[in-house]
Structure 1
Amino acid sequence: MKTQIKLLTLAVTTLIVTGCSKLHNTNTSVTEIVSEPTISPVYAPAPVSPLSKQRSASGNSLGPQRILSAYTYPDFSRPNVNTEKYQNLEQNPVHEVLKEPISTFSIDVDTGSYANVRRFLEKEGRLPPIDAVRVEEMVNYFNYSYPNPAGQHPFSINTEVVDSPWKKNARLIKIGIKAKDIETQQLPPANLVFLIDISGSMDMPDKLPLVKKTLRLLTEQLRPQDKVTLITYASGEKLVLETTSGNQKDKILRVINGLRAGGSTAGESAIQLAYKEAEKSFIKNGINRILIATDGDFNVGITDFETLKGMVAEKRKSGISLTTLGFGTGNYNEKLMEQLADAGDGNYSYIDTEKEAKKVLQRQLSSTLATVAQDVKIQVEFNPVTVKEYRLVGYENRILKQEDFNNDRVDAGDIGAGHTVTAFYEIIPVGQKGWLNESRYQANQNVIDSQKNKEYAFLNLRYKQPQQKNSILLSQPITVKTQPLNQASEDTRFAIAVASYAQQLKGGSYNGEMKWQDIITLAESSKKKDDFGLRQEFIDLAKIAKSLSSSPKE
């Protein structure tokens, strides 16, 4: 009997040593677990295994698992390290007016950077990566009370010049655009294709569950004349809801509520299918738009950034736009989300909370879906008699060549109903010390012309009516009329506070002596009527950023 026990013990020991050796050779951690793949329809409840009752040492459920002896293997569907991707953009440089008097850029109505930065500050308690901060998206997150358009054009143009808080003797030129409002019930019929990422990486509380809440909000506002198609994609794409009228909300919601995550991410073929379905249900003179909800973590099929961007840019010629709704953390590909929306003549938003979903797809539904002007370009010619130097604040990935302005084949940003767009130039008037040294051999040869010294610059703007090929030109001068910052409109002061906040998050190299408390004070003095608490929330974010800053002068 003792001999049999010894033999049994030896056999068990051998098995354990062999198993450990194999695990060691494959570099597999003895503490990792693997999720059991669910084989079920993408919109049906996933089966629950008895093993799903297992819990971690902390008491939290580890989900459905496959137990492999005493060891398990890693779950590659979820990121273990931070792999978030952002576009690396250097801040716009200072230009000499004598050498480069003309500045050209495309408008931008995206707001995703603001919400994403908020996530870093509020939820993660840390300052965001510098590349996650885009000044124009911070400023344009807020609506401003610019006058509604009164004439034949779909937007109004508003300018204001104030003293800069960033550099002594500098001025800030604000250019504000306000698109005409369209009530939701007055929108043209909409053909909407929801393209939903249900891959394994979306199986997190701030991803697919929040996507479903977002889609429910949009579904609630559908009208009988609207149509919805729903496509999911993971290891493969699937049409889970064929084109359905907006009055069948229960049917649409059942499909949304049943979405489950699992598998790798094959985004390219799913986008192709989305365009195919959108073309089948195309509404002439209506809204035709794909809304893709994902973390942008494409890892199957065409994953090359430029290839995906080029494909979407080609598809926009069909009259179908692409809006991107970004979700999640850890593996979030913000670069892809923002650039796909730009290429697809849509807009990019980052959804970090249900409150943000309501802002984008409930209160601002008209501006999210309905385009009132396409390919909107701004070109400013600075007057060398009155301006010595200038820099454009933000819009780094929207810069256009001078010749692009008159070329109607060059794409630019679109503006939706009710949108406001704001841009700032910081300028150094002639006779004041600027950022650059005076040239020894190219002294200012300007002759003061009494007719020209009344203008800082001349503003040109081009846009197209939706689905038209030829652009329309608008022009107006920006006069030499400056007011102190404390006498500027509340909207201008608040927008400058937001721009200052964004520049400070990017290192503050252009903020001069302005500190975090100065930014907070400026915002507090200009928060005016704040129906949804967005301006107060901004002030709270600035206070968080101040507390996280390590700079001794802050």
Structure 2
Amino acid sequence: MPSSQSYAAPQAIAVTGSRMAGVAAEPGVPQNEQQPTSSDLRYVPSIVVPTRPDRERYDGEEVAEVAVTMEQPVSTFSVDVDTGSYSNARRMLTDGQMPREAAVRTEEFVNYFRYDYPRPDAGEAPFTVNMDVARTPWNANTRLVRIGLAGYEAPKAERPAANLVFLLDVSGSMSSRDKLPLVKTAMKTLVNQLTPEDRVSIVVYAGAAGLVLEPTSDPREIMAALDDLRAGGSTAGGAGLELAYRVAENSKVDGINRVILATDGDFNVGMSDNDALLEYVENKRKNGISMTVLGFGRGNINEALMEQIADTGNGNYGYIDSAIEARKVLGEQVGATLFTIAKDVKIQVEFNPAVISQYRLIGYENRILREQDFDNDAVDAGDIGSGHQVTAIYEVVGAGADGWIAERRYQDRIPQAASDLASEAAFVKLRYKQPDGDTSTLITQSLSADMLARAPMPSGDFAFATAVAAFAQKMRGDTLLERYDYDAIRTLAGSQSDFYRQEFIKLVGVADGLDRP
């Protein structure tokens, strides 16, 4: 068992056995700081004015342009199961601030929620492919095509043993109650989900990096080590990554090997070159060690880098703004967070110009792949965890309908091959690899043109997903939503019994109040 002495982050760190001794501790950091209770971490946070809001960094893409099917019939993208953009935007709205446009990624809003897709019964087929079509609430001339993947949800008994390294930022910027105290709560939530076959190590970084806890399956040791952590010092993020991967490699198991990074995103000491960081994480991923990144707090968030690290490390990025969100990500959905059931999942949609004249993919701007990348198994793509769902929504214009772009004088005629297959509106292809495989499997499915012709107004799950997409696009300044307002979004979302969906409807109301001139 580790000792009960509290740990304050030092400027220099010496590793002794399974514990770490600090030298020249950061002045002003109390050694006996009282730990928060769960009641201190209620969902509704205190309104805190960010001390350094200019340090939050986002790398949002512009809203995707419309594509003319005759010119660009193929759309290719990597799946995305990150959800951090939604919970981060929720934090901003709860604090009384409209989210920055660059911080909003529509696909992460849509994929934050669960939908009623049928799931596979066995792991041999890692996910189901579901497609449906509806009329667009904000444009009578267009239709919405929804593609939904639902991953196999492996029972806990089927999950292989996990070798987890908690890489925890304990620098001075983590001292506020929405950072390190919430990190401890989140990690304890995860520990409560583990089995006796799982092992946990803890690495921390501040002025330097150190091993706080060697690999153990004893939850009491893990909890005690978490309780001892204190914040202070600068941020040696690169050194922390190196040590965490070294620990993960030394305790590697035939199962899940994952580093879980918890930070406010401030990497300002050590391996600070982003390209070097990402290359390092990519190399470790190829050696079988994946990376999950969890963001905390306000003022320092470097979301652009954090999401890149998670994507490069074959993991997912989440933002934890409350103990409830920690329970969702590391409790209710822990299987999806830890256990990959399919990797390098790509989607390619070829639209038939005889049926669809124009289209746009709503969201996924930072996941777009080149057409030739789809068949190239060397190109990395997104992963799907146990029980994960992925939803993509296209807005399309039927042939002959008024589109966003006027018909061109010198436009070519519809190819004969397209006219011959006018019963198909689109041809959908998916590629994925087994978690331990190097060769992809191809799935194909066509979308019937009749589905466009008889499309109803969206209802049920489809209506709610459409409302979420519209909300995100509205906050991104999407001009193609025309005058679709917050009231219409709330009406479309409908009455919901699920806690997270009810919360969404309330957030739409908050945004409505903040967005008024």
Q: Same fold (TM over 0.5)?
A: yes
| Alpha carbons of structure 1 residues 49 and 312: separation in structure 2 relative to 1, 3 Å | closer
Aligned residue in 2 for 1:294: 263
Counterpart contact for 2:9–2:233, Cα < 8 Å:
no
1:195–1:290 contact (8 Å) kept in structure 2: yes
Aligned partners of 1:159 and 1:176 also within 8 Å: yes
- 1:80-159 matched pairs, under 5 angstroms: 80=52, 82-122=54-94, 124-150=95-121, 152-159=124-131
Q: How does 1:185-224 map to 2 (within 5 A)?
A: 185-224=157-196
Q: Is the 8 A contact 1:503 1:510 kept in 2?
A: no
Instruction: Give, as a single letter, the amino acid of the residue that structure 1 aligns with 2:277.
Output: L
Matched residue, 1:25: none
Preserved contact between residue 11 and residue 208 of structure 2 (Cα < 8 Å): no
Q: Distance in 1 between matches of 2:28 and 2:370?
A: 62
Structure 1: any 5+ residue segments left out of the alignment?
Answer: 1-34, 53-77
Shift of 1:368: 0.7
Matches within 5 A, 1:331-370: 331-370=300-339
One-letter code aligned to 1:371: T
Secondary structure of the corresponding residue to residue 545 of structure 1: helix
* Counterparts of 1:50 and 1:449, CA distance in 2: 72
Distance 2:505 2:138 in 1: 19
Q: Distance in 1 between matches of 2:28 and 2:11?
A: 14
CA distance change for structure 1 residues 328 and 483 in 2, over 3 Å: closer, same or farther?
farther
Give CA-to-partner distance per residue, 1:20-45, whole Å, 9 cap, x none: xxxxxxxxxxxxxxx9989999789x
Change (3 A) 1:434 1:201: same
C-alpha distance 449-272 of structure 1, shift in aligned 2 (>3 A): closer
| Count of aligned residue pairs for this structure pair | 484
* Amino acid in the other structure paired with 2:237: G
Structure 2 partner of 1:422: 391
2: CA distance, partners of 1:217 / 1:325: 14
CA distance in 2, matches of 1:502, 1:359: 21
Matches within 5 A, 1:47-446: 80=52, 82-122=54-94, 124-150=95-121, 152-245=124-217, 248-284=218-254, 286-446=255-415
Structure with the larger strand share: 2
Distance 1:50 1:359 in 2: 35
Whether the 8 Å CA contact 1:138–1:498 is kept in 2: the answer is: yes
Q: 1:220 to 1:384 in 2, by over 3 A?
A: same
Pick from 415, 438, 445 the counterpart of residue 469 of structure 1. 438
Aligned-residue offset at 1:155: 0.3
Residues 160 and 173 in structure 1, CA contact (< 8 A), matched pair in contact too: yes
Q: CA deviation at 1:442?
A: 1.5
**Could you tell me how far 1:447 is from its partner in structure 2?**
4.8
Alpha-carbon distance change, 38 to 302 in structure 1, aligned in 2, over 3 angstroms: closer
User: Secondary structure of the residue that 1:440 maps to in structure 2?
Assistant: coil
Amino acid at match of 1:256: L
Distance 1:36 1:420 in 2: 39
- Name the structure 2 match of 1:482: 452
SS across alignment from 1:251: helix
| Higher RCO (CA < 8 A, seq sep 6+) | 2
**Secondary structure of the equivalent of 2:301?**
coil
Measure how far apart 1:280 and its partner are.
1.0
Q: What's the % identity of the aligned pairs? A: 48
* Pairing 1:537–2:507 present: no
Tell me how far apart the structure 2 counterparts of residues 489 and 483 of structure 1 sit (CA, whole Å): 17
SS in 1 for 2:76: strand
After TM superposition, give the deviation of residue 145 of structure 1 in Å: 1.1
> Residues 177 and 126 (structure 1 numbering): CA distance in 2 closer, same or farther, change over 3 Å?
same
Q: Which secondary structure state, in structure 2, belongs to the residue aligned with residue 357 of structure 1?
A: helix
Deviates more, 1:449-458 or 1:92-101: 449-458
Q: 1:238 to 1:48 in 2, by over 3 A?
A: closer
Give the CA deviation at 1:483.
7.3
The amino acid that maps onto 1:128 is P
CA contact (8 A) 1:161 1:483 kept: no
CA–CA distance in structure 2, aligned partners of residues 39 and 149 of structure 1: 51
Using a 3 Å threshold, how does the CA distance of structure 1 residues 412 and 455 change in structure 2: closer, same or farther?
same
Distance in structure 2 (CA, Å) of the matches to 1:486 and 1:225:
50
- Change in CA separation of 1:49 and 1:501 when aligned onto 2, cut-off 3 Å: closer
Quote the offset at 1:513 in angstroms.
Answer: 2.7
TM-score by length of 1: 0.83
Structure 2 residue aligned with 1:547, among 505, 513, 516? 513
Contact 1:214 1:358 survives alignment (8 Å): yes
Q: Secondary structure at the match of 1:298?
A: coil
How far residue 331 of structure 1 moved from its aligned partner, in angstroms, is 1.2
Q: Which has the larger radius of gyration?
A: 1
Residue 88 of structure 1, CA deviation: 3.1
* CA drift at 1:512: 2.0
User: Aligned partners of 1:429 and 1:521: how far apart in 2?
Assistant: 26
Deviation, structure 1 residue 487 = 4.9
Deviations, residues 192-237 of structure 1 (Å, cap 9, x unaligned): 0000000001011100000011111111122110000100000100
